[in-house]
């Protein structure tokens, strides 16, 4: 194998291994942080005010709930229940 191809193969393999190790290390740190900090209980959405502010609050609340779901702090069932609550409050 020509020298340049060997070098490219070694560099590619090294980059792949480093990437996998970094990803595994990041996942381990995320699991450790979740284990250390208990998830706060989801709060009930406040009653919407009259005007356009309630739709923005509803959107912000949905985004916060989605982040909690992605982080593993909420189960899918809890997320769905809170989402329905937010949507029903914002429709009023």
Query: What is the per-residue pLDDT across 63-90, written as a single tens digit (0 to 9) for each?
Result: 999 999 998 888 999 999 999 998 888 7
| Residue 1 sits in the same domain as residue 27 | yes
Containing structural domain, residue 14: 1-37
- When divided into structural domains, the chain yields a total of 2
Is the pLDDT at 47 greater than 60? The verdict is no
| Residue 59 sits in the same domain as residue 33 | no
| Residue 60 sits in the same domain as residue 86 | yes
| Residue 12 sits in the same domain as residue 44 | no
Looking at residue 80, its pLDDT comes to 93
Cα torsion through 65, 68, 73, 74, rounded to 10:
30
The pTM (predicted TM-score) of the whole model is 0.41
Confirm if 86 and 65 have CB atoms less than 8 A apart: yes
**What is the residue whose two structure tokens read 């979740």?**
34
Confirm if 79 and 68 have CB atoms less than 8 A apart: yes
| Residue 55 sits in the same domain as residue 92 | yes
| Residue 44 sits in the same domain as residue 89 | yes
Q: How far apart are CA 42 and CA 21, in angstroms?
A: 34
For the chain, the 3-state helix, strand and coil shares in percent, each to the nearest 5, are 75, 0, 25
């Amino acid at each position: 194998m020509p020298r340049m191809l060997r070098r490219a193969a070694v560099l590619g393999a090294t980059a792949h291994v480093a990437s996998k190790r970094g990803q595994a290390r990041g996942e381990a740190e995320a699991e450790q942080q979740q284990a250390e900090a208990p998830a706060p209980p989801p709060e009930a959405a406040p009653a919407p005010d009259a005007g356009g502010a309630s739709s923005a609050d509803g959107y912000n609340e949905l985004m916060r709930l989605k982040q909690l779901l992605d982080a593993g702090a909420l189960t899918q069932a809890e997320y769905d229940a809170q989402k329905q609550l937010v949507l029903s409050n914002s429709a009023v």
